[in-house]
A and B are shown apart, each in its own frame.
Chain A
Amino acid sequence: MNISLPLSRVSTSGNSLFSWLLLAPGMLFLAAFLVVPGILLIVLSLHDVDGMLMVLPTYSFSHYIEAFTSAGYIRALGTTLWVAALTAVLCVLLAYPAAWLLVSTRSRAWRTVLYVILISPLLTSVVIRTFAWIVLLAQNGLINDVLRRLGLIDAPLALLWNMKAVIVAYVQVMLPFAVLPLATSLGEIPAALPRASQSLGAGARHTFLHVVLPLTIPGMMSGAIIVFALAAGSYVTPLLIGGRLQPLLPIGIYQQALQIANLPLAAALSLTLLVVTAAIAGVMSYVQKRWERRVYGH
């Protein structure tokens, strides 16, 4: 997934009024429905609530204090980050052979098939992708059914409602986001480089470890950042597969907002999540940019 636009650096015509006018509708929309809500969210998070969870006109950091001192929320944040990181790592690991296959397939027909497999999930609703896992993992789901008929188990396995299932589902749902940038990175390695390595005496393994792998660091980082950010903010999948009791912050936010109706706390929690995720993603992005600058000069 690309978080940038192919904008050129050269302007052939001046900045016309027309162009500025065209910029307006999109910007107004985003200002109204992204910026303003963002600011209001910050304000909301600072409002107090009374015992009935009605919002009071007074302000305090009480929700943030609660977020950072309550063992439950700290654990949830920690688990969320841990799960997101693990998912990112697993995705990158699995993405490698997938990206390799994509890049080294000569036949155009097969490449299209692989693209379809990769991208069509991204165009399917996340509930559906998650639901498929429920069908697979449920007590009378497909896996249990097959295992039982093969005689490998007597009683159905409880495959759902645990964090492992959540992570498996995460990996499968977010894998395409790791494969695509990695495939781009792999595809950009000039063919002469592995050959040069070979001509210097390095076999396939050495060439891979010392030439190909390092040069795909930008692709791996890109993918890892995207997967990490997506996984950290995910709640639909873990809710459906792991159940409400999973200690994940996005689930907590969802519950606070829609079930307990403590909006200010939910706001504080979500801003905390946003800031922490952005900070980690920012660090990873910085590392990536520094690598690119060292190797390519830009």
Chain B
Amino acid sequence: MRERKITLLGPEGTNLSIFFLFLVFNFISWFTLFVLSEGIELNLNNILIRQIVFSLISFLVFFLLTYISIENIRQYIDSLFVIITILLAVLLRTTPKAGVRRWFDLGPIDFQPSEFAKVITVLFIANYLTKRKSRYPLLLFLGFTLILILMQPDLGTSIIIGFVIFTMIFVSEVKIRYLVLIALLVVTFFFVFLESGLINENQLNRINDFFSANDDFQQSQSKLLISSGSLFGQYFELNKLEKVFVPVETTDFIFAAYSYNFGFIGVVFILTMWLLFFFRLSQIINISNSDFEKFVITGFVTLLAFQIIVNISTITGLLPLTGLPFPLLSLGGSSMVSTAVIFGITNRIFIENNLVI
């Protein structure tokens, strides 16, 4: 056992590459929102100040999680899963905002439980796969949670959770033919729900129908925005190209605004940083003795990589719009903090495996 411990950041130490990348992603987000914000005012309505406050909360969460051992997490994960499921159920009884029930309104901030459901689901499945024999009750639990999220309605998050569940079962020793069966079941289930879900949508007025019927326009505009970023980005250009119409620039379409401002170089930079992060995580697969940790890492990598892939694919018109945030870049407290939880737990796994750099 190596005895190298960096006690500077938290009593249990901190893995420097994980922490460094966490900082880098936060700074990129600040800089992007700084570019997008019109002036800085010291209040929570300013997007940059908002994001910085969320970041600071994220740092706190990151460090608090260095105190919690992986064993502790395993102890409490079942209860956490029950709690988040109850929260998701309660959420459906609140008044809808913009036609959906996705957030708890907590004054200046909105709390989005489905963001945390993603992380908790990963931990729950990892624990389940390493402890129990039968896998069928698992699907029952997860199916219930998924339906709650679908009913918000939040198709994007449901698909992501579904995909994460699928990959985590895939890397366990389940036979491929069962996997195919599950996949078929899930796909059928989605279509059935979509059909019935569509009927419930008559609360959305004509305008919203109209809005969704014209996704192509937004995607073509966002492609033009990305394209005009060129090699170095428009941020440093004096005569900026404008005249494109991109909605929700600070959330779902933030990567388009990022590409516009920082160009191809910026895109390669941020994607390289994420790939570096995923390679670091994969190291655990090689050295850890704990299957739980390996499943957790698989879940986290899938969760983050899939979100990035889906987000970028939608803004470039390769997939229909789903409304998924880009991790640690999009403006949004719940998404920031839940991603901080992922980084914090990952950090703890590295420390327990005596990896500090």
A and B bind: no
